[in-house]
Amino acid sequence: MAIEDTTPRRSLLGDMDLRAVAPFVALALLLLLGAVANPNFISLANLENVATRSAFIAIIAVGATFVISSGDLDLSVGSMLAFTASLMIMFLNAAPIADPFLLLLAAMVLAVLIGMACGLANGLITTLGKIEPFIATLGTMGIYRGLTTWLSQGGAITLESREIQDLYRPAYFGSILGVPAPIAVTVLLSLAAAFVLYRTSYGRHVVAVGSNREVARYSSIKVDRVRTAAFVIQGLCVAIAVLLYVPRLGSTSATTGMMWELQAITAVVVGGTALKGGYGRVWGSVCGALILELVGNIMLLSNFISEYLIGALQGAIIIIAMLVQRSLARRV
Amino acid sequence: MGDPAGIVLAAAHVSKEFAGVQVLFSVDFDLRKGEVHALMGENGAGKSTLVKILSGFEQPSSGQVLLDGQPVTLPPNGLAEAMGICIIHQEFNLAEDLTVTESMFLGREITRFGILDRKAMRAATRKALNQLGAKVDENAVIRTLPVAARQMVEIAKAISRDARVVIMDEPTAVLTKAETEVLFQQIRRLKAEGTSFIFVSHKLDEVIALSDRVTILRDGQWIKTAATSDLTGEKIAQLMVGRELSSLFPQKREPDVDEEVVLEVRDLSTAFVKNASFRLRRGEIMGFAGLIGSGRTELMEAVIGLRPRQHGQVLANGVALPAGDLGAGMAAGMAYLTKDRKGRGLLLNNGMTTNLTLQSLSQHSRHGYLVPASEAKAMERARRRFDIRARDPRIVVGRMSGGNQQKLLLAKVMEREPRIILIDEPTRGIDVGTKQQIYNFISALAADGAAVIVVSSEMPEVIGLCTKVAVMREGRIVGQLEGDDITEHEIMRYAAGLKTAA
């Protein structure tokens, strides 16, 4: 390396935070495994496909990284996505604005506002109501899901206008500089999120609050405000996922986003963020989402294991990830 | 020492060290059948450690525990109860979600044919509580009971186990006068039946009223054992504190009488603290002495805004501060250093720099983002100024020594360059060398014109550092001492309730 460094260098391994590196090592091993299992696996088209499909969970997981780092938990993200997407489609169908472009823009702004409002509700119920986040968001999960079912009357809510569909399609199926739009959005969002978490006072406060609320309070950090803001960031991320979800299918139903909360939490934990708070890895969460998707992909392409076992394997992954995380944490 | 056959429980040349720090030095202690033996000493004198050794919660590093004259190794974790030794801890030992009856019989439930006999247990509980004159419902859930009632349950529990030896660590701290009187009657009754009591207390009047003999410890050493009738409260206080002040402390500097008042607290009350008033001048180091639980921390937290206050005013540099607003207190140039370093002061799983800058991040941010180089520079400055030593600069704070943690905490608080600094227990759990460094630092701060409050349970610290001392007792400031009046003897008299200012 040509970099001049005045401080004496330690051995490379000793200098790295193993917890931060572990998920990426796991990802590399999976890629290797996939390549051995099926030669088609390592093709650019397949990998691009995997990355695109993992984008929804990755984007939600980026938001979940904030909530979990601050010591909370949000179980409502899957229903929140279904609820926000339903309202957005209904707004587009009602078409209160004549100009299709302006209508779409307004719908997108609306979706972002609804997502953030849902997050704010979660945050306020948890902090002002002093209710365990597990219970508070279990409640809102039911509420958002129930409202979606009610809005769709048990059926589907579908984007009707052909014109809007065509206008909006590229948001999911298009590409920016040759990169599929969902991947580009995930990367840009993660860059922004990593900056906020690692390089701003707010990010530092999130970690402090997640580590020890009393220490944070005695350091004049407004603990409830920090926690609530993390829930709002989660809502914003869900809304961004909605902005990609609606052009993809143009339809929602009562089962949209079902169990996504568990996948998002799995991605975050697999990515190295501590579930008890105080330590967050944005890129680790993205990596975790990729790992989940890759496992499914490898199972489809290979013949070792039945693809019906995907759920079981994902469940096993989260347990293994926790065990690895704990054994690494002990050494740090 | 009288007839050895009458001695139930004794400690012979018992020493104890924790992680290389010796807290008991070859202490002798004996308890006769049917006596109340009071154990007295300042905070940190070794009373609690001795009591834990006598009840099996700790094992002595050397020396022996004798039960009925025979050397024994007491089983740990309260199992000594089976041998007739019961301890009532300072901190309660009750499972909060059980009822009074359930907790009385926890681990020794009465059963009939393998089924719990609730009726018998309730009746026995009622009887034990009645003996104590306690109006506690035997079916109440512990969580719903006030502290005094819980204490009564603890005492009833110990008494109902037909203990031969009952050890009470500050049993009356939370009881009212009337409750205390009932407790004492029961103790006297049981004493007449042959039960022996070890009574740990700070309250001189209670010790004199209740005990037959007194043993005094100081700095882990046995000082004296004597019949209570041969002693007076004054004499006991003197024996507890009689110690030379070493050159640990820098020269005191008294501020000018007309120096401006930078902090004034008027008639401040919280749920526990009542009508506290005091004034702090520029360049002054003021001490707050008192027993543990006398309300000093609560007062300081209310002053800085960490706790709501019921009424009263806090004026920093003449400007009234809003209640319960830590941000306003800090903006006014105040800072509070908590005594709970690990639970409230530092993020133990994070590095030194993260901790150092946690409450001063705005100084290190440019256009809303943090500048690591600026933080690193601050860390380097703090390391030199406070002599923080760590073998690896990236070490997590939880793995640093107590002394280095304390210096880091001090550095964190000083990052905002406060001018009114409230320091709660500045040297808890750290070695003498580091203590001296911290004393010098506090003295230098005052010389530089800052105003400092030192809350401490270590009396030499208050006496060695401060030019004015307020003594608190049961939530009130009961006396303020200045100049030559600041002696351990005077402080102890106020703290223990022998003397109250008009």
CATH class of A17-331: mainly alpha
pLDDT above 50 for A7: no
Instruction: For residue A331, name the pLDDT band (cuts at 50, 70, 90).
Output: very low
pLDDT above 70 for A137: yes
Instruction: For residue B449, name the pLDDT band (cuts at 50, 70, 90).
Output: very high
- The whole-number pLDDT of residue B488 equals 86
Quick one: B499 exposed, middle or buried, by C-beta within 10 A (0-12, 13-18, 19+)?
middle
**A222 to chain B: closest CA residue:** B327
B-contacting residues of A 250-279, CB under 8 Å?
A: 278-279
Place of tokens 């800085």: B304
pLDDT above 90 for B281: yes
Q: CB of A220 within 8 Å of any CB in chain B?
A: yes
Contact state of B348 with A220 under an 8 Å Cβ cutoff: no
Contact between B24 and B49 (Cβ < 8 Å): yes
pLDDT above 70 for A214: yes
Instruction: State the nearest Cα–Cα gap between A212 and chain B, in angstroms.
Output: 7
Q: Which residues contact B60 (CB under 8 A, 6 or more apart)?
A: B11, B14, B15, B16, B24, B53
Best mutation target among A220, A223, A224 (most B Cβ atoms within 10 Å) is A220
- The whole-number pLDDT of residue A209 equals 96
A-contacting residues of B 88-127, CB under 8 Å?
A: none
Q: CB of A3 within 8 Å of any CB in chain B?
A: no
CA-atom Rg of chain A in angstroms: 21
Q: Which domains does chain B have, with CATH numbers?
A: 4-241 (3.40.50.300), 245-333+419-502 (3.40.50.300), 348-417 (no CATH)
Best mutation target among A218, A273, A275, A331 (most B Cβ atoms within 10 Å) is A218
pLDDT above 70 for A190: yes
What integer best gives the mean pLDDT of chain B?
Answer: 86
Best mutation target among B347, B364, B371 (most A Cβ atoms within 10 Å) is B347
- The whole-number pLDDT of residue B394 equals 81
Mean of the pLDDT values across residues A106-125? 97
Residue-range domain boundaries for chain A = 17-331
What distance in Å separates the CA atoms of residue B463 and residue B471, rounded to the nearest whole number?
A: 12
Q: CA-CA-CA-CA torsion for B294, B297, B298, B302, nearest 10 degrees?
A: 140
pLDDT above 80 for A1: no
What distance in Å separates the CA atoms of residue B336 and residue B428, rounded to the nearest whole number?
A: 15
- Measured from the Cβ of residue B18, the count of other Cβ atoms closer than 10 Å reads 11
What distance in Å separates the CA atoms of residue B272 and residue B105, rounded to the nearest whole number?
A: 33
How many angstroms from the chain centroid is the CA of residue B135? 29
Quick one: B444 exposed, middle or buried, by C-beta within 10 A (0-12, 13-18, 19+)?
exposed
Quick one: A179 exposed, middle or buried, by C-beta within 10 A (0-12, 13-18, 19+)?
middle
pLDDT above 80 for A43: yes
Contact state of B347 with A215 under an 8 Å Cβ cutoff: yes
- The whole-number pLDDT of residue A8 equals 37
pLDDT above 50 for A308: yes
Contact state of A221 with B396 under an 8 Å Cβ cutoff: no
pLDDT above 80 for A113: yes
CA-atom Rg of chain B in angstroms: 25
The neighbouring-strand residues paired with B289 are: B471
What distance in Å separates the CA atoms of residue B52 and residue B338, rounded to the nearest whole number?
A: 28
Q: Is the ipTM of this complex over 0.90?
A: no
Contact state of A219 with B358 under an 8 Å Cβ cutoff: yes
Of residues B131, B136, B130, B166, the one with CA closest to residue B151: B136
Contact between B207 and B228 (Cβ < 8 Å): yes
Instruction: For residue B164, name the pLDDT band (cuts at 50, 70, 90).
Output: confident
- The whole-number pLDDT of residue A85 equals 97
Instruction: For residue B175, name the pLDDT band (cuts at 50, 70, 90).
Output: confident
- The whole-number pLDDT of residue A215 equals 95
Contact state of B347 with A279 under an 8 Å Cβ cutoff: no
Nearest CB among A207, A208, A220 relative to B326 is that of: A220
Nearest CB among B327, B345, B365 relative to A215 is that of: B345
- The whole-number pLDDT of residue B384 equals 92
How many angstroms from the chain centroid is the CA of residue A97? 32
Share of chain B above pLDDT 70, in %: 94
Instruction: For residue B113, name the pLDDT band (cuts at 50, 70, 90).
Output: confident
Nearest CB among B347, B350, B368 relative to A200 is that of: B368
What distance in Å separates the CA atoms of residue B42 and residue A268, rounded to the nearest whole number?
A: 51
**A212 to chain B: closest CA residue:** B347
What distance in Å separates the CA atoms of residue B322 and residue B326, rounded to the nearest whole number?
A: 9
Token pair for B336 = 């509070």
Contact state of B347 with A332 under an 8 Å Cβ cutoff: no
Instruction: For residue B432, name the pLDDT band (cuts at 50, 70, 90).
Output: low
Angle CA A94–A97–A102, to nearest 5: 120
What distance in Å separates the CA atoms of residue B140 and residue A126, rounded to the nearest whole number?
A: 30
**B324 to chain A: closest CA residue:** A220
- Measured from the Cβ of residue A237, the count of other Cβ atoms closer than 10 Å reads 28
Of residues B424, B400, B396, the one with CA closest to residue B410: B424
Token pair for B71 = 């050397």
Contact state of B368 with A221 under an 8 Å Cβ cutoff: no
User: Is residue A266 classed as helix, strand or coil in its secondary structure?
Assistant: helix
A260-298 pLDDT per residue, tens: 999 999 999 999 898 889 889 999 999 999 999 998 888
- The whole-number pLDDT of residue B191 equals 87
Q: Which residues contact B300 (CB under 8 A, 6 or more apart)?
A: B288, B336, B422, B424, B453, B455
- The whole-number pLDDT of residue B231 equals 85
What distance in Å separates the CA atoms of residue B129 and residue B151, rounded to the nearest whole number?
A: 11
B16-32 pLDDT per residue, tens: 887 666 788 999 999 99
Contact state of B344 with A214 under an 8 Å Cβ cutoff: yes
Mean of the pLDDT values across residues B243-258? 72
Q: What are phi and psi of A56, to 5 degrees?
A: -60, -50
